[in-house]
Structure 1
Amino acid sequence: MLAVVGGTGLYGLEDFELITRHEGDTPFGRPSGPVLHGRFGGRELLFLARHGDGHRLLPHEVNYRANVFALKAAGATHLLGFSAVGSLVEPVAPGQLAVPGQYIDWTRGGRERSFFGGGVAAHVSTARPVSAAMVDWIAAGAARLGLPLHRDLTYACVEGPRLGTRAESFMLRQLGGQLVGMSNVPEVFLAREAQMGYATVGLVTDYDCWMDDPAHHVSVAEVFARYGATLAQARQLLHTLLSLPQPEIEPESRQALASALITPPDRLDAAQRAWLAVLQA
């Protein structure tokens, strides 16, 4: 089942027909809000607002483990995120859509970034963290709408919540970053640990602050001024995607734990076996 994680500005889906609300804690704490199971665009899906109702949570405050676990427990096999992003390269212009294929983790270590630890050891490959099949699916939907879409970009994730310095913007460009954001890490890596296919549609709002002209430097006011029109495109894209066949997820995602677990099953307690069974499903 497809799970949609709504980012800034996407806190719900219009005309969403609710079937069930999944609420409460997970073994990793409380998610950002309830997981909504319903029908949208003629298809059943799950929806979760990453930052909570009313955007209560800053990126570093989001309980990404609880969010991803709650979606997996509710039946998710595909996770499609929507996120505001800044552009670190001139061809990717504000107002356009961009899909990352790679990630640079430049967060500062304060986020819980793995389900594993505390007596359960695993090392999951993230060489290709994004589902290529899902990216192709997104590109097909954008082409059907005639929307320009940049794909296979590198997203540099920073801690936030402050907006970056020019020195940081130049550094991320030198590292190979083409997009910058605050919310896709560790979400992308947790989705792999949960054996889900993952892709994000980035809504490009600004050029961060690497350009010489200060008029192009990011500000919250500028982000929201541009965001509405781009968000409308993203909603159109989601409707179109739901009319296309759902892609088959690659084995490297759906079987990510097959050779990653190190701790023998007989060394796990009942609680550990229970949450691990959800990830392995």
Structure 2
Amino acid sequence: MIGIIGGSGIYEAFDLDDVHEEAVETPFGEPSAPITVGELDGTEVAFLPRHGHNHQFSPTDAPYRANIHALKQLGVKRVLATNAVGSLRDDLLPQTLVVPDQLFDRTRHRPYTFFGDGMVVHMEFAEPYCPHMTTHLVTSADVATDDGAHEGGTYVCIEGPQYSTKAESEWFREQGWDLAGMTAVPEAKLAREAELCYATITGITDWGVWKGAIDDRLGDVLENAAANEEAINATVEHAIRTLPDERECSCEHALEGTINTPGEAIPDETKEQVDLLAGEYFD
């Protein structure tokens, strides 16, 4: 099963066969919405809108842990996400698709890990996106869309829901970063802890305030998000149809060697809460 997490502008599942909804309960609460499960050319797909069907969850308040855990519970092993982002570069125009390969975290108020409560895990995160999945998304965009997708780049994740100040936006540009968004963190971190392959296709919706004031920024963002939707959906659908059966990466063993707390010292309540994620490593 392949998981799809839809960002702003992507609220409904694709044209799937044999569709039904799964109301999943997790140790971390309920996900953003019931998960739509169906088939695309014989591949089982689980679709989840990150912000809820009516965009009722802000970037800070989205239930990231419940979302990732729910997909894991259903049997998902690989996740393709979508994000609406602002451009920090003159050559990355609105309505351009980008598949980033790096992250910079500027968030402050989110739960970043499944673990804690007497259990310490130090997760490797040098490469925040699954390299096999990012390459596959770029290839899929090249085939499925007229303009393809820009390969690589750094996504700086801000807390939101406000946009950046001009000073912040200019500083991001000075660092050489490429995209600004609000939702890649902690989603990518949690996917790694859950040993899921994870990559995202982003659609640029605006320039960011470094370009100057805009009378109706939200209107522009929503208009460009709608324009990006067709290309993003085409890319993701092609990626699903052509994704190899085998995982060609180390994501499925990401927890190996990362648990710092001896198994006998981890409280039983904590073990129960994270059993699906780490139970095989407690012995």
Contact 2:21 2:37 in 1 (8 A): yes
Q: Which moved more, 1:136-145 or 1:246-255?
A: 246-255
Contact 1:114 1:190 in 2 (8 A): yes
Aligned to 2:25: 25
Aligned to 2:72: 72
Q: What SS does the corresponding residue of 1:210 show, helix, strand or coil?
A: helix
Aligned to 2:192: 192
Structure 1 residue 265, shift from structure 2 partner: 2.0
Deviations 1:87-111 (A, max 9, x none): 1011111111001111000012x11
Q: Which moved more, 1:19-28 or 1:224-233?
A: 19-28
Structure 1 residue 270, shift from structure 2 partner: 4.0
Deviations 1:50-90 (A, max 9, x none): 00121111100101111111111111111110110001011
Aligned to 1:124: 123
Q: 1:131 to 1:25 in 2, by over 3 A?
A: same
Deviations 1:106-150 (A, max 9, x none): 012x11111111111110010011111001111111121243311
Supply the AA of the counterpart residue of 2:74: A
Supply the AA of the counterpart residue of 1:116: F
C-alpha distance in 2 between matches for 1:34 and 1:105: 28
Contact 1:133 1:248 in 2 (8 A): no
1:263 to 258, 261, 264: 261
C-alpha distance in 2 between matches for 1:240 and 1:210: 34
Contact 1:122 1:260 in 2 (8 A): yes
The 5 Å alignment of 1:70-149 reads: 70-108=70-108, 110-145=109-144, 146-149=146-149
Structure 1 residue 36, shift from structure 2 partner: 2.3
Q: What SS does the corresponding residue of 2:201 show, helix, strand or coil?
A: strand
Q: Which moved more, 1:232-241 or 1:182-191?
A: 232-241
Contact 1:33 1:52 in 2 (8 A): yes
Q: Which moved more, 1:151-160 or 1:220-229?
A: 220-229
C-alpha distance in 1 between matches for 2:266 and 2:217: 48
Supply the AA of the counterpart residue of 1:144: V
The 5 Å alignment of 1:133-212 reads: 133-145=132-144, 146-211=146-211
Contact 2:4 2:47 in 1 (8 A): yes
C-alpha distance in 1 between matches for 2:99 and 2:37: 25
Contact 1:131 1:250 in 2 (8 A): no
C-alpha distance in 2 between matches for 1:62 and 1:153: 24
Deviations 1:164-207 (A, max 9, x none): 11111011122332100001100001101111111011011111
Q: What SS does the corresponding residue of 2:168 show, helix, strand or coil?
A: helix
Aligned to 1:252: 250
Q: 1:106 to 1:248 in 2, by over 3 A?
A: farther
Gaps of 5+ in 2: none
Aligned to 2:232: 234
C-alpha distance in 1 between matches for 2:28 and 2:209: 36
Provide the identity percentage: 34
Structure 1 residue 41, shift from structure 2 partner: 4.4
Q: 1:246 to 1:147 in 2, by over 3 A?
A: farther
C-alpha distance in 2 between matches for 1:126 and 1:6: 23
Contact 1:78 1:196 in 2 (8 A): yes
Aligned to 2:45: 45
Supply the AA of the counterpart residue of 1:230: N
C-alpha distance in 2 between matches for 1:22 and 1:269: 31
Supply the AA of the counterpart residue of 1:160: G
TM-score by length of 2: 0.92
TM-score by length of 1: 0.92
Q: Which moved more, 1:239-248 or 1:257-266?
A: 239-248
Q: What SS does the corresponding residue of 2:121 show, helix, strand or coil?
A: coil
User: What CA RMSD, in Å, does the superposition of the two structures yield over aligned residues?
Assistant: 1.9
Q: What SS does the corresponding residue of 2:124 show, helix, strand or coil?
A: coil
Contact 1:137 1:247 in 2 (8 A): no
Gaps of 5+ in 1: none
Structure 1 residue 251, shift from structure 2 partner: 4.5
Supply the AA of the counterpart residue of 2:265: R
